[in-house]
Amino acid sequence: MKFYSTRGGASAANASEAIVKGIAEDGGLFVPERYPDLSLSLEEMLDMDYAERAAFVLSKFLEEYDYEELLRACEEAYSRFDEDAAPVLKLDENLYILELFHGPTLAFKDIALTLLPYLLRAGCDNAGIKDDVLILTATSGDTGKAALEGFKNKKGVKIMVFYPDEGVAEMQRLQMTTTEGDNVSVVAVEGNFDDCQTAVKKIFTDEAFKKELKENGVIFSSANSMNFGRLAPQIAYYFSAYCDLVGAEEIKMGQKVDFVVPTGNFGDILAGYYAKKMGLPVGKLICASNKNNVLTDFFETGVYDVNREFFKTMSPSMDILVSSNLERLIFDVENRDPEKTKAMMKSLSEKGRYEIDRARVAHLSETFYANFCAEEACAETIGNFFEEYEYVLDPHTAVAMSVYDGYACENGADRPAVILSTASPYKFPSDVYEAISGKYESDPFVAAEKLEKESAVPVPEQIAALKSKPVRFMKKAKKDELKEIVREFALK
């Protein structure tokens, strides 16, 4: 299968080349030439375990990868999870929760980032690339630690993670800055996530800098969902959740299911869109935003405008205004026209906005519903949900649940709905404990202990162990200093 840039300036690449490069030379994102049809394969997938389902879905895109090696890589990756990689729990009639936080770093990013090191190394081998790979990753919280954990101590790879200073939760910061490994680096960047992401994209498209590093045997790649190798494994859990519901006789094969997705960079929900294009019986994809509601406005009006106030919220992984993966959806809705997509992305870069016509908005509304959740509603949802179900939501999942409640009130809840739960509540213990108990505890470790007593849900070992781990990375930088920092790390 060939992959093309959303902006049309890069030649076609196979999956290996797309994954190794991360993003296209022209700054666009790689997209597959077509969507494999798996509608007739759902019955076959019912008897598979999660690793088998993931390998099966991925193999339809990664055609040059050896299937048996891909399956073994999936089995190895998901053996690192506490239990089933993506279990589905029934909460109520027609309401389910897909838990995606059972991996090494307690966030949904683990689903892809435990597997990406294999995809990248095999991609290099398939493409005949012998250079060392330097992975640059901007993170709004969870991607950073998941990427560091996936790539630490891997031969032939170095990884640098950039996060917004004071823009992530304390547990997220500690997870990143205490990471072990001799091939990792973590840098706090002044500004917000969009500043980090923009600076990293600028480095990726700096041809002179890339040439300099290439001459020293180093090439760039990415672990963000801009990289198709990060996005593709996420498609699998939509198929797996559906098969689990059929297998449990909660739904009938072919019955449509809604998926409710908390999202900031639009990668998680785009994976659901790809699953639908591949034949999964998806009803609505419900796009849940926090107070940074640029996506809500886009789906309502067709105008994407980042010229607005940026808010820091209790769901920091969604504190994003420039949703990179929306570019892939724009490419699709504009009939896969790279010139139109390129013009819109240029407008976004120069003016901070772009617009699609009303016909396109109407077309998107057939698949997507979008709304947002204010901070007060997020906290109330965590408290009310615990009171009703004795289940502890993290703030991101609470955003999704709040938005779904509004959707169900407007449209009814007749269709089964799956809420994607994207992180452990113990990554945000102070806010979650306050939402449940009405009491605030600023020390995150004390808050975690109190949350355990309040909820009877044990503190995960990954969180408890952070208290005694030394902080290794304390560097802070301005965004225009990142290039020199990257050069120093790459060439040492």
What is the percent of the chain with per-residue pLDDT over 70, rounded to a whole number? 100
Q: At what angle do helices 429-437 and 444-455 cross, to 10 degrees?
A: 40
Sheet holding 257-262, edge to edge: 88-92, 95-99, 417-421, 257-262, 282-289, 368-372
Q: End-to-end CA distance of the chain, in Å?
A: 37
Checking if the pLDDT of 12 tops 80, the result is no
Distance (Å, rounded) from C-alpha 293 to C-alpha 288?
9
Distance (Å, rounded) from C-alpha 459 to C-alpha 449?
7
- Residue 485 covered by a domain: no
Is 109 annotated as catalytic? yes
pLDDT of residue 461: 96
- Residue 45 covered by a domain: no
pLDDT of residue 141: 81
Cα–Cα–Cα angle for 85, 45, 283, rounded to 5 degrees: 85
- Residue 299 covered by a domain: yes
389: CATH:
3.40.50.1100
- Residue 78 covered by a domain: no
Distance (Å, rounded) from C-alpha 185 to C-alpha 126?
27
Among 21, 60, 90, 109, which one carries the catalytic annotation? 109
Residue partners of 484: CB distance under 8 A and separation at least 6: none
- Residue 356 covered by a domain: yes
pLDDT-derived band at 347 (thresholds 50, 70, 90) equals very high
Q: Which residue has the higher pLDDT, 75 or 166?
A: 75
- Residue 32 covered by a domain: no
What is the percent of the chain with per-residue pLDDT over 90, rounded to a whole number? 95
Kindly write down the DSSP assignment for every residue of 397-411, as one continuous string.
HHHHHHHHHHHHHHH
Residue type, 480: D
Quick one: which of 20, 97, 84 has its CA closest to 52?
84
Structure tokens of 191? 């500004």
Over residues 203-230, the mean pLDDT reads 93
Distance (Å, rounded) from C-alpha 148 to C-alpha 119?
16
pLDDT of residue 83: 79
pLDDT-derived band at 140 (thresholds 50, 70, 90) equals confident
- Residue 395 covered by a domain: yes
Checking if the pLDDT of 425 tops 80, the result is yes
DSSP letter at 470 equals: P
Distance (Å, rounded) from C-alpha 4 to C-alpha 60?
16
pLDDT of residue 93: 93
- Residue 171 covered by a domain: no
Q: How many domains is the chain built from?
A: 1
Average pLDDT over the chain, rounded to an integer: 96
Quick one: which of 307, 298, 308, 303 has its CA closest to 352?
307
Quick one: which of 250, 272, 253 has its CA closest to 263?
272
pLDDT of residue 72: 98
Checking if the pLDDT of 331 tops 80, the result is yes
| Contact status, residue 334 vs residue 21, Cβ threshold 8 Å | no
- Domain of residue 264, residue span: 84-104+229-458
pLDDT-derived band at 413 (thresholds 50, 70, 90) equals confident
DSSP letter at 83 equals: S
Structure tokens of 47? 């008897």
Checking if the pLDDT of 82 tops 90, the result is no
Distance (Å, rounded) from C-alpha 92 to C-alpha 215?
59
Distance (Å, rounded) from C-alpha 214 to C-alpha 211?
5
Question: Each residue of 95-131: pLDDT tens digit?
Answer: 999 999 999 999 999 999 999 999 999 999 998 999 9
